[in-house]
Amino acid sequence: MSEPLIRVRDVERTYALDGVTVPALRGVSFDIATGEYVAITGRSGCGKSTLLNVLGALDAPTGGRVEVAGTDLATLDERAATRFRLRSIGFVFQRFYLMPMLSALENVTLPMAEAGLGARARDARAAELLARVGLAGRERHRPAQLSGGEQQRVAIARALANGPRVVLADEPTGELDAHTGAEMIALFDTLHRDGVTLVVVTHDDALAAAARRRIVLRDGRVVSDGAGA
Ligand code: ADP
Ligand code: MG
């Protein structure tokens, strides 16, 4: 077996808030290989977002370790963590988080500019990525001029901007109606077939069923981890 892309070992995350401690993750372990398409499911409050944030180095665990492509995330200082997120992780959120004053194309070029790619190259790559997510011809639209599903497609193109090792998505269909959600599921399927590694947190049974593996959390622990749904 080759090295897993993501290695999670005994991860704990306890939040301290006003003297009360909330154990959001209580010892989570699993591996994810390059090219996998994994859904993380479980009831609201079971720790899904906390786990995703830890995988993407947006948050640090209070116990255990996370390695991505052989790097122990705990060894990254703030600068290195920022660089890691920019180069290695593509984030997709429920509420899209696009920049409202920027066009679709500009939203997608933003992470490439931060990574130091030249203007010509980033415009060309952003146009390609928008076409890949089904938005050819929408380059100049601002988020408010796009439907929810189209905005999420822009966010997915942005997540792919720097060729990340993994795309982490938190409830990507949570704001979309069923029909648009189904289109998003089809898009994730295409990305999976193209070799993109996907880890998707979701309540959406249709999306969870589309993933090739499902990890179920309950009260901060993995209660099931297996193929299909
Ligand atoms: P999910 O995404 O599965 O709904 P979360 O990971 O958001 O769950 O939250 C897991 C638990 O941690 C919940 O009990 C939640 O209230 C708590 N929690 C999440 N974020 C914070 C925070 N920043 N401060 C304190 N408690 C938090
Ligand atoms: Mg959540």
Residue nearest to atom 20 of ligand 1 (CA): 50
Q: Is 163 left (phi over 0), alpha (psi -120 to 50) or beta?
A: left
Burial class (CB in 10 A: 0-12, 13-18, 19+), 18: exposed
137 phi and psi angles, rounded to 5 deg: 90, -10
- Going from the Cα of 66 to the center of ligand 2, the distance in angstroms, rounded, reads 19
> By alpha-carbon position, which residue is closest to atom 5 of ligand 1?
47
Q: Out of 22, 55, 201, give the residue to mutate to test ligand 1, the one with the largest number of ligand atoms within 8 Å of its CB.
A: 22
Asked whether 133 and 156 are in contact (CB, 8 A), the reply is yes
Task: Point out the ligand 1 atom lying closest to the alpha carbon of residue 51.
Answer: 6
Residue 66: half-sphere exposure toward Cβ, Cα within 13 Å: 24
- pTM score of the predicted model: 0.96
The Å distance, Cα 147 to ligand 2 centre, comes to 23
Contact (CB, 8 A) for 150 and 135: yes
Site residues for ligand 1, CB cut-off 6 Å: 15, 17, 22, 24, 42, 44-50
Measured in angstroms, how far is the CA atom of residue 60 from the centroid of ligand 1?
Answer: 14
CB atoms closer than 10 angstroms to residue 149: 19
Contact 65/74 with Cβ under 8 angstroms?
Answer: yes
* Strand order across the 89-93 sheet: 89-93, 166-170, 198-201, 37-41, 213-218, 221-227
pLDDT of residue 227: 82
- Measured in Å, how far apart are the chain's first and last C-alpha atoms? 24
User: What residue owns the CA closest to ligand 1's atom 26?
Assistant: 15
Sequence-distant (≥ 6) Cβ neighbours of residue 131 within 8 angstroms: none
Ligand 1 atom with least separation from CA of 170: 2
Parallel, antiparallel or unpaired: strands 20-32 and 6-17: antiparallel
Going by alpha carbons, the residue nearest to atom 14 of ligand 1 is: 45
Q: How far apart are CA 38 and CA 200, in angstroms?
A: 6
C-alpha 2 – ligand 2 centre gap (Å) = 31
* Strand runs labelled E in 33-123: 37-41, 63-68, 71-72, 89-93
Minimal-distance CA residue to ligand 1 atom 16 = 45
Mean pLDDT by 10 residues, the chain (229 residues): 89 94 97 98 96 97 97 96 96 96 98 96 98 97 97 97 97 94 96 97 94 97 86
